[in-house]
A and B are shown apart, each in its own frame.
Chain A
């Protein structure tokens, strides 16, 4: 049983991942709750909505898929839509492949890839240095439970939580994102500029005519590719560094 540079046992790594996943799971509750309600309101049985959440584990893709399955679209259209909306995960998976340490075996990759959501990726990326498999396994647990149980709750009882509490929970995921990006942006001017560039582009795609018609899945890919490319061109990371997310 190997320990990391931090001297943590596998059990400690797993528990640290588990703890870091709790805010993600909480944030997912409200989003998947809304998905459960939406699915039932469109006439999809609750158990199928739950099955979708337990096998897909993605918000935008599931919502788009729901719309398509209700109208009975062609299977090719379903496949194409899922590819476009979820393409950002390919980018994240390449990035995460460079972040994991040697404890992550091939068979672990098949499992970890399933849980590589936007938020899991974000938290894993925010860790200093490399991440190991025990941490990643722990990190995936709470989001998976939150996403599945939120869907179940949504399908069973739409009026379970007061609207005011639901509205407040909606910001949880974003609050977590802010907590991930602000400290490194404070330390590194290049990270701050990449972040600012991505935000400026996202605003343009939200508020400018024509641009605001581009679908959400594309917007994230376009903004991320442009901002990260500019960062890589104008502020390449030093050669031969054991690149570390905190430096």
Chain B
């Protein structure tokens, strides 16, 4: 790498500024409730749509094997279905993946 330290700092600053402005401006500009029914409905569904698109299929590639990730996914879906909390589901998924990978080594 040939980039100098001052340049690295400048890049860091530019990245931080752009990222912050994108997050901050809409949050500061939209301070009143939006009335339009379509936009209200759209914004109501956005979190689920964003989460769905971010979670699957990416979850299948989040561990070292597809199979262990599938086990982790199954465990988290089952626990979430029965209404377990975020931490319980997340930790259980990790434990399931760890066990699954351990079993796979034995096989």
Contacts and interface: CB of A to CB of B under 8 A. Distances in A.
Interface of A: 19-20, 22-23, 26-27, 42-45, 48, 51-52, 55-58, 61-62, 65, 68-72, 75, 78-79, 82-83, 86-98, 106, 109-110, 112-114, 116, 118, 121-123, 125-126, 163-165, 167-186, 190-191, 194-199, 201-203, 206-207, 219-220, 223-229, 231-233, 235-237, 239, 243, 245
Give the contact-size bracket for chain B: 35 or more
B5 interface: yes
Contacts of A220: 50, 53-54
A56 B19 contact: yes
A68 B59 CA distance: 27
Interface string B1-31: 1110101111111111011101111111111
Given A65-B11, A175-B76, A93 B94 contact: no
A219 B56 CA distance: 12
Interface string B60-104: 001110001100110111011101111111111111011001100
- Interface SS, A side: helix
A48 B85 contact: no
16 contacts: A56-B19, A69-B12, A71-B3, A82-B22, A95-B43, A163-B64, A168-B63, A172-B90, A178-B55, A178-B89, A194-B48, A197-B49, A197-B52, A220-B50, A237-B37, A237-B40
A176 B90 contact: yes
Contact of A121 (B5, B22, B47, B90): B47
A228 B95 contact: no
Given A97-B31, A164-B101, A56 B16 contact: yes
B49 to A, nearest CB: 4
Contacts of B46: 91-92, 95, 224, 228
B63 A167 contact: yes
Contacts of A51: 9, 12
Contacts of B52: 181, 194-199, 202, 223, 227
B21 to A, nearest CB: 9
A199 B50 contact: no
